[in-house]
């Protein structure tokens, strides 16, 4: 497990990539590395390091990938106030980073196909998993969005040696329909597979049900809103099948799909 850091990181790049999609690259001296699925808590406006220190609470963001020289990249969508402020950060300014945090994805076992299913911001949690699973297993990456503008990171995935399929609800890129349609087709090919899903809750639930119907294991990475990111505020609690709650920041964000009480997950 990599020990989390709490640092003010220098912004190297923060660029719009079409639609509401942005790419942020920061320098984090002594970055300890991360495992696929782990995240950081990002504050746009680190106290004492940039012009402002609001909003008060940081926002959770998946670590997309890392580069030599302790550079870390995040892909994000401008959603509300926190991400709008993040989009204003200029190269040379600093953002507060706490991480890496959370429970990571396990890599596929030998002989399994890895079926990665991403929608919305969830796509960002899957890139490093795809990169590290190559060589261990055949990797299929299935990305979905409402329209071509909403897709995130597809050029990066296309540059990997993976079997990449896209679906958009309006048919503007890839197959028209839902990304779970692609998953249904992939599972119908048979054989042993492990499903990894991150995205909107209905999408993850559908992916979990398809995997269960096919008798294959599934891991999901939940994207509940978070306040602290390390198990103190209890704000990220997710109901578990069989009773009780798991903290998405500490016990997740990655959970075995059958552990999640999908009926009661907000
Ligand atoms: C582990 C984890 C990893 C994440 N990784 C990424 C990533 O790599 N890229 C990315 O763009 N986003 C990611 N997210 C989601 C991201 O944290 C939220 O989009 C962000 O916090 C929204 O902040 P905001 O201030 O812009 O919006 P806010 O003003 O906080 O919220 C605007 C509206 O969205 C709702 N909302 C806030 N957070 C969420 C959420 N997580 N899910 C659904 N609705 C929400 C609020 O209730 C409110 O109605 C991740 C979330 C988690 C938990
Ligand atoms: S975000 Fe505070 S306990 Fe999980």
CA distance 22 to 53: 21
Q: Which CATH architecture has domain 5-101?
A: Beta Barrel (2.40)
The answer to whether the CB of 39 is under 6 A from ligand 1 is yes
CA distance 236 to 238: 6
| Domain edges within the chain | 5-101, 113-264
The answer to whether the CB of 44 is under 6 A from ligand 1 is no
CA distance 148 to 119: 12
Look at residue 68 in the predicted model and tell me its pLDDT. Answer: 85
- Ligand index nearest the alpha carbon of residue 37: 1
Residue 75: phi, psi to the nearest 5? -105, 130
How many angstroms does the Cα of residue 97 sit away from the middle of ligand 2? Answer: 16
Look at residue 145 in the predicted model and tell me its pLDDT. Answer: 95
pLDDT tens by residue, the chain, 266 residues: 678 999 999 999 999 998 899 999 999 999 999 999 999 999 986 544 445 556 667 999 999 999 987 999 999 999 998 899 899 999 999 999 999 999 999 999 988 999 999 999 999 999 999 999 998 899 999 999 999 999 999 999 999 989 999 999 999 999 999 999 999 999 999 899 999 999 999 999 999 999 999 999 999 999 999 999 999 999 999 999 989 999 999 999 999 999 999 999 97
Domain 113-264 has CATH 3.30.70.1710: no
Look at residue 48 in the predicted model and tell me its pLDDT. Answer: 44
How many angstroms does the Cα of residue 227 sit away from the middle of ligand 1? Answer: 11
Query: Which regions of the chain does DSSP assign to beta strands (E)?
Result: 5-16, 21-27, 39-43, 59-62, 65-67, 71-77, 94-101, 113-119, 139-145, 163-168, 175-176, 193-198, 218-221, 237-239, 245-247, 254-256
The answer to whether the CB of 76 is under 6 A from ligand 1 is yes
With 0.85 as the threshold, say if the pTM is over it.
yes
CB 93 within 8 A of CB 11: yes
Atom of ligand 2 nearest to the CA of 250: 4
């Amino acid at each position: 497990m990599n020990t989390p850091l709490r640092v003010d990181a220098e912004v190297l790049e923060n660029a719009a990539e079409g639609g509401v999609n942005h790419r942020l690259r920061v320098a984090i001296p002594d970055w300890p590395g991360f495992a696929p699925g782990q995240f950081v808590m990002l504050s746009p406006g680190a106290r004492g390091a940039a012009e402002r220190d609001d909003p008060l609470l940081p926002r959770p963001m998946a670590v997309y990938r890392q580069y030599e020289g302790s550079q870390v990249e995040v892909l994000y969508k401008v959603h509300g106030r926190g991400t709008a402020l993040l989009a204003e950060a200029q190269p040379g300014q600093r953002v507060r980073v706490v991480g890496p945090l959370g429970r990571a994805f396990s890599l596929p076992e030998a002989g399994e196909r890895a079926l990665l299913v991403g929608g919305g911001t969830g796509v960002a949690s899957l890139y490093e998993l795809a990169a590290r699973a190559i060589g261990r297993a055949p990797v299929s990456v299935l990305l979905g969005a409402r329209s071509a503008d909403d897709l995130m990171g597809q050029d990066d995935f296309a540059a990997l040696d993976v079997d990449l399929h896209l679906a958009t609800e309006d048919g503007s890129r890839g197959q028209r329909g839902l990304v779970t349609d692609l998953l249904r087709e992939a599972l119908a090919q048979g054989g042993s597979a492990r499903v990894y899903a991150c995205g909107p809750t209905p999408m993850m639930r559908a992916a979990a049900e398809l995997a269960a119907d096919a008798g294959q294991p599934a891991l999901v990475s939940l994207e509940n809103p978070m306040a602290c990111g390390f198990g103190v505020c209890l704000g990220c609690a997710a109901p578990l099948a069989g009773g009780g709650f798991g903290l998405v920041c500490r016990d997740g964000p990655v959970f075995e799909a059958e552990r999640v009480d999908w009926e009661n997950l907000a």
